[in-house]
């Protein structure tokens, strides 16, 4: 077993030990998808996300993303957070869209700060108060970037992105079944260190999931993610689809969620010269698999 696999397993064990009581508000039920559950007014929560991404078209690529969050309930319907994001990358001869050595494969082994960001979530409808069980929330996350998440290259000063989400939730069976959908729009202004050109990108993502309470402390679900990237906001560059299970533990002193997403489709599967970069998948700058552990401790 590799060192990062052992670290992930230890973190999961620590998170599972938190599961000792019914669910609380503000929990992350899925690995990627957001619900309308927020941290209550006057409460604070510390949340940690550990995400392992592996597998590209050729060479070796594995990376671990760390998102450390401090979350505050400003009101019962408004939540504010601060994030510190970092990345551990182990790549040998791996492909990428933006690296100068993309065609033959880049090699990079490092741990680096990735970005800092703030997050604001406003809930317009609560599924626990709405008679139809509907929830609606709006999400805003401005982010200042230091290194590229996918290839580890350093950004020039002034690189930033803005992510927005429309979060829709529907509860069934007296809140034992939760269905959620996120429409994600993310605008990026990117300039790599040592380069003169600045690139603009638009990421348009669709995320859908359903989870059900299978035991007093446990939810089991499935989620899917579709990522679409547009260069300069107009030129479609690629689309990717992942799907996989999620497992959520609710606890009196915290919560933990484990999820796995597997790439099932992507395009283009060939580059402009007809070379294979994944066939029916897109493995040039996105991974075949990702495993996410999230856990939170409220105060």
Under a CB-based contact definition with an 8 Å cutoff, are residues 240 and 227 in contact? yes
Give per-10-residue mean pLDDT for the chain (299 aa): 48 42 67 96 97 95 98 97 98 90 87 98 97 97 97 95 98 96 97 91 97 96 97 92 97 94 89 70 94 95
The token pair that represents 58 in the structure block: 């050729």
Q: In this predicted structure, what is the pLDDT of residue 22?
A: 38
Instruction: HSE, CB side, 13 Å, CA atoms: give it for residue 239.
Output: 9
Length of the chain: 299
Q: In whole angstroms, how far apart are CA 112 and each of 58, 65, 143? A: 24, 10, 16
67 inside domain: no
Under a CB-based contact definition with an 8 Å cutoff, are residues 290 and 278 in contact? no
Q: Which range of residues forms the domain containing residue 135?
A: 3-44+72-80+116-298
208 inside domain: yes
226 inside domain: yes
* Secondary structure class of 29 (helix, strand, coil): coil
Q: In this predicted structure, what is the pLDDT of residue 288?
A: 97
106 inside domain: no
284 inside domain: yes
Under a CB-based contact definition with an 8 Å cutoff, are residues 64 and 48 in contact? no
Q: Is the pTM of this model over 0.85?
A: yes
59 inside domain: no
287 inside domain: yes
Under a CB-based contact definition with an 8 Å cutoff, are residues 145 and 160 in contact? yes
Under a CB-based contact definition with an 8 Å cutoff, are residues 130 and 169 in contact? no
Q: In whole angstroms, how far apart are CA 195 and each of 157, 188, 199, 202, 232? A: 12, 17, 11, 20, 17
8-state DSSP, 276 = B
99 inside domain: no
**90 forms bridges with which residues in the sheet?**
62, 109
Domain count, the chain: 1
Q: In this predicted structure, what is the pLDDT of residue 269?
A: 67
**235 forms bridges with which residues in the sheet?**
231
């Amino acid at each position: 077993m590799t060192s990062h696999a052992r670290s992930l397993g230890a973190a999961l064990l620590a998170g599972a030990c938190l599961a000792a009581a019914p669910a609380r508000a503000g929990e992350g039920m899925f690995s990627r998808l957001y619900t309308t559950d927020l941290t209550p007014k006057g409460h604070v929560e510390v949340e940690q996300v550990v995400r392992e991404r592996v597998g590209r078209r050729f060479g070796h690529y594995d990376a671990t993303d760390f998102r450390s969050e401090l979350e505050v309930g400003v009101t019962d319907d408004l939540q504010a957070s601060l994030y510190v994001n970092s990345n551990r990358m182990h790549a040998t001869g791996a492909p990428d869209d933006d690296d100068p050595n993309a065609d033959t494969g880049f090699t990079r082994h490092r741990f680096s700060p990735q970005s800092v960001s703030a997050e604001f979530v406003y809930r317009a409808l609560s599924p626990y108060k709405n008679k139809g069980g509907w929830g609606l929330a709006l999400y805003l996350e401005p982010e200042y970037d230091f290194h590229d998440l996918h290839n580890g290259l350093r950004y020039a000063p002034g690189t930033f992105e803005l992510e927005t989400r429309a979060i829709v939730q529907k509860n069934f069976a007296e809140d034992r079944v939760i269905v959620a959908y996120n429409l994600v729009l993310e605008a990026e202004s990117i300039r790599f260190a040592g380069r003169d050109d600045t690139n603009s990108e638009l990421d348009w993502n669709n995320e859908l999931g359903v989870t059900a309470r299978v035991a007093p402390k446990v939810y089991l679900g499935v989620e899917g993610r579709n990522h679409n990237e547009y260069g300069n906001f107009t030129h479609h560059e690629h689309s990717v689809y992942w799907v996989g299970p999620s497992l959520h533990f609710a606890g009196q002193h915290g919560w933990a969620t484990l999820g796995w997403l597997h790439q099932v489709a992507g395009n283009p599967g060939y580059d402009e010269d007809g070379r294979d970069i994944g066939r029916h998948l897109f493995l040039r700058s996105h991974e075949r698999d990702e495993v996410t552990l999230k856990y939170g401790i409220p105060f």
